[in-house]
Structure 1
Amino acid sequence: MANEPDAGPDRRTRILEAAERVFALEGYHGTTLRQIAREAGVKLSLVAYHFETKQALYLAVFTNRQHVNTERARRLRAIPDLGAPDALERVVDAFMQPVVELGPEAMWYRRLVLREAADPSSGDRPVVRELFDPMAREFIAALRRILPDKPAGFHEWCYLFAVGALTQSAFDDRMANLADGAGPGGGVKNDLLRSFIIAGLRHG
C-alpha cells in the first residue's frame, strides 16, 4: 500500500514534500515531526530515521530547493557587463526568474521562504545564514555597482523588499480575495512584479 512506510523508493522525498507543506502552514515552532509523518503517510520512526531532528528536517527542506539559489547566482555571474544600460533589468531577471520558473507546484516553498524570512527566531537556525545570505550578498554587490550613488543601506533594504514582493506573489488566494475572485494571470503578475522591483530600485 502506498501509505506504508516501506512502500516504494521515494519515502524520503514524500517526507520532504510533506514537511514543506506543513512547515509553510504552521511555521517552524508550530510543526511537529508527528504532524509531518501523518501528512507523509509514514511512521514517526521513519522520519526520525531519515532526519533525526526537526531542525535537520527543516534545513533539508530548504537544501532540497537550493538549486534555485544556485541558479540565481549563476545567472547573476553570467551578466557580462554590470555597466550596460540594461544591467539592472538583467539582475532583476536573474533574481526572479529561477523562482518564477518553479511554477505553482512550488507554492509551499515560496510561502515557507516568506515565513522564515519574517520569523524573528530565524537567526537561531542556519537556513537564511547559510543558504540565502551568500547569494544575497552577491546581488547586493551587483546593485551597488549599478546604482553607486544611493545612500547607505539602500541596496540592502531594496534587496529585502524585493524578496518580500517575490515571495508574497505566491499568495494568489489573497489576490483573489482583494479582487473578488478576479485578477491578473501568472504572466501578467510576473511582468508587474518585475516592473515593480525595477522601478523601486531605479527611482527609490
Structure 2
Amino acid sequence: MTEAPERAAVAETPIARRERILDAAERVFAEAGYHATTLRQIAAAADVKLSLIGYHFESKLALYTAVFARRQHVNEERLRLLEAIEDPTAPEALDRIVAAFMDPVVALAEEGAWYRRLVLREAADPSSMQRPVIAELFDPMARRFIAALKQALPGKPPGFHEWAYLFAVGALTQSAFDDRLSNLTDAPPPASNVELLRAFITAGWRHG
C-alpha cells in the first residue's frame, strides 16, 4: 500500500527534467556543434522521450539558446564586478578588469567545463551570427569590457582592445580542457592553471 506514495515522492518534477535535458544538450552541443547535433541525440543523452524535448523547447534553436541563457548569471556576475571598479584608470584597475572577466567563469570549475567548450565552439563557428546567442547574450557584455579596457589602457592602436578581448575569450574558454597536454609533455598537468591564465591575459592586455 505504500509503494505508490514512495514512487510519487521520487518522481522527477518538470523543472528537474528540463534541467536534465539542458545538461545533456550542453554536453552534446559542445561535443558535436549546433549543426551536427540532433534532438534525438540529446533525448538519448538525457534518457527522455523525444516528445519531452518538444514539450519543453519549441525547436532545436530554442533549446540551444536556453543552454546559454541558463548560464547567463555568470555574465551578470562579470558585469557586476566590472561595474564595481570605480576608477578604470587607477593602477590596479587592469588587474580588477581581468578578475571580473575570468573569475566568475573559472568559479564554474568542472561543472562548467562543457559550457566553456560550447562557448568556444560557438564563438569560432562562422554560422554563429545566424543565431542570437553571441549577439544577444555576449556582445553587450563584451562592449562594456572593451570600453573599460580603453580607459585602463589608453594609447593603443585602433582595434587593439577589441582583438585583445577576443584573444582572451579564446584563452579562457580553452583553458577548461587539458586534453592536449599529455601529447605535449611527459610531466603531469598542474593542479590548476588559473594563475597562469590570469598572468597570460593580464600581460597580453598590458603589453600587447
Q: Please classify the TM superposition score into its range, dividing by the shorter chain length.
A: over 0.9
TM-score (norm. length: structure 1): 0.94
Matching residue's letter, 1:185: A
Once residues 50 and 181 of structure 1 are traced to their aligned partners in structure 2, the CA distance between those partners, rounded to angstroms, is 46
Once residues 185 and 122 of structure 2 are traced to their aligned partners in structure 1, the CA distance between those partners, rounded to angstroms, is 27
Task: Pick the aligned partner of 1:53 from 41, 59, 62.
Answer: 59
Matches within 5 A, 1:63-82: 63-82=69-88
> Does 2:145 match 1:145?
no
Once residues 173 and 58 of structure 1 are traced to their aligned partners in structure 2, the CA distance between those partners, rounded to angstroms, is 25
Task: Pick the aligned partner of 1:197 from 188, 193, 201.
Answer: 201
TM-score (norm. length: structure 2): 0.92
Partner of 1:168: 174
Give the deviation of 1:183 after TM superposition: 1.6
Give the deviation of 1:179 after TM superposition: 2.3
In structure 2, the CA distance between the partners of 1:60 and 1:181, relative to structure 1 (3 Å rule), is farther
Q: Residues 43 and 50 of structure 2 are in contact (CA less than 8 Å); yes or no, is this contact kept in structure 1?
A: yes
Once residues 166 and 174 of structure 2 are traced to their aligned partners in structure 1, the CA distance between those partners, rounded to angstroms, is 12
Partner of 2:7: none
C-alpha RMSD of matched pairs (Å): 1.2
The gaps in structure 2 that reach 5 residues or longer are 1-9
Deviation string for 1:36-61 (max 9, x for gaps)? 00000000000011001000000000
Partner of 1:126: 132
Matching residue's letter, 2:30: A
Once residues 132 and 27 of structure 2 are traced to their aligned partners in structure 1, the CA distance between those partners, rounded to angstroms, is 20
Larger radius of gyration: 2
Give the deviation of 1:181 after TM superposition: 5.8
The gaps in structure 1 that reach 5 residues or longer are 1-5
2:25 aligned counterpart, secondary structure: helix
Give the deviation of 1:178 after TM superposition: 1.9
Give the deviation of 1:84 after TM superposition: 1.1
Once residues 111 and 81 of structure 1 are traced to their aligned partners in structure 2, the CA distance between those partners, rounded to angstroms, is 33
* Identical residues among aligned pairs (%): 69
Give the deviation of 1:7 after TM superposition: 4.2
Deviation string for 1:167-203 (max 9, x for gaps)? 01011112233223612111xx110111111111111
